[in-house]
């Protein structure tokens, strides 16, 4: 009897060990919580392309736009913690709960798997615009408040704060000096500027670089700690001494639902170490004007810092009582 029990126990241990090591055994879904064509979509598809070989299973990208990215974020945060549904997180996952007291997901309701990239934002106008510099644009806004319009995915989205912080830095009303026209996703935002429906915008580099390179858009400023290699003649917000605007930058990260098992977290730690060195990932980041940040910071700490920054802006600009 003892021998039978011992054999049964050994079999159970082997089975448990095998199950623990079985992740992944099927395709992983990566939810991009914004529409196609924007910076988040490009980052998600680049990650899926690079990570699948190291993961050993396909990664299916699903766009799930809505509520400034929080619809997809909410669904991932409430999904089974099995590692088969993950989130291409953006700055909005920290920003939205900072500015919305009734956010459906708080900034820390995830498993933080890895930072992915820093995404410089670019202030741009159409090629035929009369504005050749940030100063000229701001002078025009100041001379006729509300007359000029900009495209953004929302007043309290990152591409809304890019403009509002710039306006606040020169003592213009961040909410009324320029008129926000809402669109969904980076692709629609860029199209709005190209079509002459708005006067300017300040969105992720990945959505604008193809149009800048083609000569259809003119960059005036970048929101980045350093000048972009692809735009060496375009000054940064920090260089121009715009204090608040100089602190704004986009980013991407990989999140999972809360309480992911250790084996899933360990698997993705190993995968991301390899992605960080992958030529395909790095070259696609360069193409998007992004900077890979895998392995360079603690994502939970950074997300908390970003939450605090945008919470402060929301209070200053009157979005919170």
Instruction: Evaluate the CA torsion angle 157, 162, 168, 174 in order and state its sign.
Output: negative
pLDDT mean over 156-168: 95
Sign, CA dihedral 60-61-62-67, equals: positive
- DSSP-derived secondary structure for 37-104: TSHHHHHHHHHHHHHHHHHTS-EEEEE---GGGHHHHHHHHTS-SSSSEEEEEETHHHHHHHH-TT-S
State the DSSP string of 221-234. EEESSS--TT-TTS
Task: Give the CA dihedral 181, 232, 212, 138, nearest 10 degrees.
Answer: 30
Assigned token pair, 22: 């079985």
| pTM (predicted TM-score) | 0.85
pLDDT category of residue 27 using cuts at 50, 70 and 90: very high
Label residue 225 by pLDDT band (50, 70, 90).
confident
User: Which pair of structure tokens corresponds to residue 290?
Assistant: 């992004």
Q: Quote the pLDDT of residue 67.
A: 84
Q: What is the C-alpha separation between 206 and 229, in angstroms, rounded? A: 14
Pairing relation of β-strands 28-32 and 111-119?
Answer: unpaired
CA pair distance 262, 236, nearest whole angstrom: 41
| Mean pLDDT estimate for the chain | 92
Please state the rounded mean pLDDT for residues 217-246. 95
**What are the tokens at 291?**
């900077």
Q: Hey, what are 162's tokens?
A: 């890019």
CA 201 centroid distance within chain: 17
* pLDDT surpasses 70 at 20: no
Tokens of 319: 């979005």
Q: What is the pLDDT of residues 242-288, one digit of tens each?
A: 999 999 999 999 999 999 999 999 999 999 999 999 999 999 998 88
149-152 and 200-204 strand pairing:
parallel
Question: pLDDT for 185-220, tens place per residue?
Answer: 778 999 999 999 999 999 989 889 999 999 999 999
Say whether the peptide bond before residue 24 is cis (omega within 30 degrees of 0).
yes
pLDDT digits (tens, 9 = 90+) for 290-316: 999 999 999 999 999 999 999 999 999
| Domains along the sequence of the chain with CATH | 27-118+249-317 (3.40.190.150), 121-247 (3.40.190.10)
Beta bridge pairs of residue 123? 202, 221
- What are phi and psi for residue 247, nearest 5 degrees? -100, 0
Residue 9 has pLDDT above 90, yes or no: no
With bands split at pLDDT 50, 70 and 90, how would you rate the model's confidence at 117? very high
User: Tokens 């996703």 sit at which residue?
Assistant: 185
Largest Cα–Cα distance of the chain, in whole Å?
92
* Euclidean distance between CA atoms 151 and 159, whole angstroms: 8
What's the pLDDT at 214? 97
Distance between CA 16 and CA 47 in Å, rounded? 31
Q: Give the model's pLDDT for residue 7.
A: 43
């Amino acid at each position: 009897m003892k021998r039978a029990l011992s054999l049964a126990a050994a079999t159970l241990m082997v089975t448990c060990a095998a199950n623990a090591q079985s992740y992944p055994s099927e395709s992983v879904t990566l939810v991009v919580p914004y529409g196609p064509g924007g910076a988040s979509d490009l980052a998600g598809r680049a990650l899926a392309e690079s990570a699948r070989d190291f993961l050993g299973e396909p990664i299916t990208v699903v766009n799930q736009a809505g509520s400034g990215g929080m619809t997809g974020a909410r669904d991932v945060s409430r999904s089974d913690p099995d590692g088969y549904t993950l989130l291409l997180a953006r700055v909005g996952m920290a920003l939205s709960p900072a500015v919305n007291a009734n956010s459906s997901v708080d900034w820390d309701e995830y498993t933080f798997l890895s930072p992915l990239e820093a995404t410089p934002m670019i202030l741009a106008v159409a090629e035929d615009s009369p504005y050749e510099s940030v100063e000229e644009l701001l002078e025009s806004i100041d001379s006729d408040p509300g007359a000029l319009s900009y495209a953004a995915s929302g007043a309290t989205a990152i591409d809304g704060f890019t403009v509002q912080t710039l306006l606040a830095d020169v003592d213009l009303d961040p909410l009324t000096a320029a008129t926000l026209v809402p669109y969904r996703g980076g692709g629609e935002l860029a199209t709005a500027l190209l079509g002459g429906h708005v006067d300017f915008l300040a969105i992720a580099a990945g959505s604008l670089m193809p149009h800048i390179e083609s000569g259809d858009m003119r960059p005036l400023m970048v929101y980045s700690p350093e000048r972009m290699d692809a735009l060496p003649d375009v000054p940064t917000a920090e260089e121009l001494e715009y204090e608040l605007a100089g602190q704004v930058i986009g980013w991407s990260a990989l999140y999972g639902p809360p309480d992911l098992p250790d084996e899933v977290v360990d698997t993705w730690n190993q995968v991301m170490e390899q992605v960080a060195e992958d030529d395909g990932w790095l070259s696609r980041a360069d193409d998007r004007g992004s900077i890979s940040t895998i392995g360079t910071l603690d994502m939970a700490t950074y997300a908390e810092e970003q939450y605090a920054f945008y919470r402060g802006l929301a209070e200053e600009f009157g979005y919170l009582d």
